[in-house]
Amino acid sequence: MMNFEMISLHWVNRLSFVVRRELGDRFKAQGYNVSAEEWAVLLLLWQEEGMAPSEIAERTVRDRTTITRFLDGMERKDLLQREQDPKDRRRSRVLLTENGRSLKEPLTAIAGALIGEAQDGLCAEETKQLVGLLKKMTKNLLK
């Protein structure tokens, strides 16, 4: 019989659930109406504004329908806006609003504190090794 506690993906999945719940709770406790999933979209846009929804879906490993739903909700919250791509009118680009830009510092601080807690007791080398292993496992599954 397989011992689930010895399966790395069990722990990756469990950590993912815990982080999403905890991050959402912390944002809410500080008065920010942003989910962990919306946070992931904001992170991408803070790095590279103007992506197409399909690019966001690909980079967040979500399907296009789910991303469209997230973007609709984020637009209603005045975090972002969509505009027609001037180079290709069939595509849209996703841009941050001033409100979306203004959340970078406070949300990053909240998330940074959570990351710090999650990595408590790990030295820099262990963190680097962990990130490398997780990247390798992800790459193995995205072949």
- Our count of domains for the chain comes to 1
How far apart CA 65 and CA 49 sit, in angstroms, is 20
> 28-32, 45-49, 88-92, 118-122: lowest mean pLDDT where?
88-92
CATH number at residue 113: 1.10.10.10
CA angle 134, 51, 89 (to 5 degrees): 150
Residue 3 domain flag:
no
Residue 129 domain flag:
yes
Residue 4 domain flag:
no
Tell me the per-residue pLDDT of 47-91, one tens digit each, with 9 for 90 and over: 999 999 999 999 998 999 999 999 999 999 999 999 987 877 788
Residue 1 domain flag:
no
Residue 130 domain flag:
yes
Q: What is the chain's length?
A: 143
Give the pLDDT score at 45: 97
How far apart CA 98 and CA 87 sit, in angstroms, is 24
Domain of residue 89 covers 9-141
CB-based burial label for 40 (10 Å; 0-12, 13-18, 19+): middle
